[in-house]
Amino acid sequence: MEVITIESQAFKELQAKINMIAKFVAAIQSKAEEQPEDGWVDSYEVCTFLKISSKTLQRLRSANAITFSRIRGKNYYRISEIERLLKDNIIRRSDEHLQDLVKNHQFLVKQKRDTKADK
């Protein structure tokens, strides 16, 4: 085992910098949790919480009415894009459906983070 010694002033400065970085990371994480629009949801979640069929979602994609990303054959949609569809009345659902989608997305993200932290 190797012991390293430093002056107490240098140690206090290092500790202050570490605390500042920790506060910055915590602020960024809380900001990300407050802004669910940046999240991505898959087709299953969209269909389930907006109560639309997968064929309806396919028609929206084919008509270029909704933007999406395909990763390994699975389609993902931004929550802000789903919100735009609701505002433009392309999909006629209440805001409660969108809130259910956002809450479920936040729950799943938190669950994944907790699972990664346990490993």
Q: Which tens digits make up the pLDDT trace of 55-84?
A: 988 998 999 988 899 999 999 998 888 888
Residue 30 has pLDDT above 60, yes or no: yes
Could you report how far apart the first and last alpha carbons of the chain are, in Å? 27
Q: Is 94 a domain residue? A: yes
Kindly state whether residue 5 falls inside one of the protein's structural domains. Answer: no
* pTM for the predicted model, two decimal places: 0.53
| Domain boundaries, position 85 | 37-107
Confidence check: pLDDT of 45 > 80: yes
Q: In what order do the strands lie in the sheet with 69-71?
A: 40-42, 74-78, 69-71
Q: What are phi and psi of 6, to 5 degrees?
A: -140, 165
The answer to whether residue 4 sits within a structural domain is no
Q: Number of folded domains in the chain?
A: 1
Q: Quick check: is 59 in a domain?
A: yes
95 or 23, which is more confident: 23
Q: Does residue 15 lie in a domain region?
A: no
Q: What is residue 89's predicted lDDT score, i.e. its pLDDT?
A: 74
In a domain, 30, yes or no: no
